Structure 1
Amino acid sequence: MSSDTATVDDRQLAAKHRAMWASGDYPKLAADLVAPLGPVLVDALGIGTGDRVLDVAAGTGNAAIPAARTGAAVTASDLTPELLEHGRAVAEKEGVELEWREADAHSLPFGDNDFDAVMSCIGVMFAPYHQRAADELLRVCRPGGTIGLINWTPEGHIGRLFATMKPYMPPPPQGASPPPLWGREEHVRDLFGDRVTDVVAQRRTLPVTHFADGAEFRDYFKAVYGPTIAAYRNIADDVDRVSQLDRDIAQLGDDLMDESSRMEWEYLLLTARKA
């Protein structure tokens, strides 16, 4: 493949992913369900006053805004401008100052060694080419700087949701890797290799009590979550398959709940230092 073709393909892929994440209402999901994760990541990295911080695939700023509250100089980058606009509005309302930049995690528009800390909270995991994204995280972090990630695990709710939706989705781009692999410690260690030290990885869970049953879980994701919307759009002309996917996701939601309708969404918290 020539470099020109690669550029075109990258732009087409980015446009497709940008449109997917702009569909539905991801800001609602971020506020309703995953807001507690951002402060967890900021605390794990020990971010504080004067640190230069980059949040990759920042979405609406669930980690970037808490990082900026510490006094750090924060840049929130994301592929989807609609999410950045929402985050910017939230930050302005709260009186928090940070920079918002449109950027592809595969090719970050920042210099080598620019940041003291580079982080991503359930964001970079959705960049299709894991090695390219991992290389970029490392490139923009200074030697001795820290990298911190929170990613959903393959065994957790998003891993199982993606496995449920896979038969109904269009084929992924050639060479792409499944997002939940970022939630597996050995996978991330392989991506970073000997370019990092002091790796600390913990599996944790986020308690969720937002849904009464699996059907409500399904309807929520069907309305607000880009990948689920994309799955339904892919089979929109097949009534039987739509009905089957409805049943499959509702069953998954029921399976994820305990007797009190509580879910425990598993994630991997990983920090490392650039060698």
Structure 2
Amino acid sequence: MTGTAEAREVDRALKAKHRSMWALGDYPAVARNVVAGLGPALVAACGIEDGDRVLDVAAGSGNASIPAALAGGDVVASDLTPELLHVGHREAEARGAAVSWQEADAEDLPFEDGSFDTVMSCVGVMFAPHHQAAADELVRVCRPGGTIGLLSWTPEGFVGKMFAIMKPYAPPPPPGAQPPPLWGREDHVRTLLGVRVTDVEAHRRSLRVDAFGGPEEFRAFFKSAYGPTISVYRNLADDPERTAALDAALLDLARGALQDGALDWEYLLLTARRAT
């Protein structure tokens, strides 16, 4: 087996692992009941209008795809995990939104150069392991003069802190994989996109989350519904002491962040124009 063939095999295994992780639990419930406000915020920032060709990368169950279609966009929702696309298809039909659903790897999109007026991702592409490869694809499929819109959790925000807490309990990442919350740093995204974009606008905002009755309810929900959290706990299945330590750390995080019965989750909202 050549080095290139070996690298491809490693990448296939990594993507299969990611696909399985996001199929765990009930991510559509997270999108529907916890972070529903993120999709419309991204769609508004991208300025999607009637007839715009829109690609939602790592779309999940359509948190941004469905609002984009309802705003008049001609939307393709792509994701690595077909189970999420199936749920999104049903939810789009229930809401009267016409969306095309396509299984696709964010690092190797099956679309022609310059195919879309808007290319966006809502807390999705940030989880692709190779950031530069994913960024290159975002730029490639966007037409010159088109819009790239990204909404990502920041490292300093609640979700970024949650990932930092879980990291020591998870298996070591494969070589070359980068931490998802880096997409929440403006300088990192600017470096990824480089001179291929202009008119970059970036703002840190917060999503107010009042879906949980308290810290314990937050922890229980994420242990049962959120794929990355479920995966980490499965890694600890034979280690009750470390499981208890992670339980306590997540509870402390939520307790420290809870204010007036809600949590504020910081994200970076960045838009840019593909250079002509």
Counterpart residue type for residue 14 of structure 2: L
Q: CA deviation at 1:212?
A: 2.7
The number of residue pairs the alignment matches comes to 274
Q: Deviations over 1:118-176 (max 9, x none)?
A: 00000000001100000000000011111001000001111100110011000011111
Q: Deviations over 1:58-99 (max 9, x none)?
A: 001011111111221100000000000000001111221111
Q: CA deviation at 1:111?
A: 0.7
User: 5+ unaligned residues in a row in structure 1: which ranges?
Assistant: none
DSSP-derived class of the 1:164 partner: helix
Whole-Å separation in 2 of the counterparts to 1:50 and 1:32: 29
Which residue of structure 2 aligns with residue 202 of structure 1? Answer: 203
Which residue of structure 1 aligns with residue 134 of structure 2? Answer: 133
Which residue of structure 2 aligns with residue 269 of structure 1? Answer: 269
Q: CA deviation at 1:3?
A: 2.5
Whole-Å separation in 1 of the counterparts to 2:263 and 2:97: 32
Which residue of structure 2 aligns with residue 11 of structure 1? Answer: 12
Whole-Å separation in 1 of the counterparts to 2:72 and 2:246: 46
DSSP-derived class of the 1:34 partner: coil
Which residue of structure 1 aligns with residue 251 of structure 2? Answer: 250
With structure 2 as the length reference, what TM-score do the two structures score? 0.97
1:148 equivalent to 2:149? Answer: yes
Q: How does 1:71-90 map to 2 (within 5 A)?
A: 71-90=72-91
Q: CA deviation at 1:213?
A: 2.4
With structure 1 as the length reference, what TM-score do the two structures score? 0.98
- Please say which of residues 4-13 and 201-210 is displaced more in the overlay: 4-13
Counterpart residue type for residue 73 of structure 1: D
DSSP-derived class of the 2:156 partner: coil
DSSP-derived class of the 1:201 partner: strand
Whole-Å separation in 2 of the counterparts to 1:22 and 1:60: 11
The 4+ residue runs of structure 1 with deviation greater than 2 A are: none
Which residue of structure 1 aligns with residue 26 of structure 2? Answer: 25
Query: Percent identity, aligned pairs only?
Result: 62
Which residue of structure 2 aligns with residue 104 of structure 1? Answer: 105
Counterpart residue type for residue 136 of structure 1: E
Which residue of structure 2 aligns with residue 222 of structure 1? Answer: 223
DSSP-derived class of the 2:34 partner: helix
Whole-Å separation in 2 of the counterparts to 1:63 and 1:233: 30
DSSP-derived class of the 2:136 partner: helix
Whole-Å separation in 1 of the counterparts to 2:204 and 2:164: 20
Q: Deviations over 1:222-252 (max 9, x none)?
A: 0100110011001110111111111111111
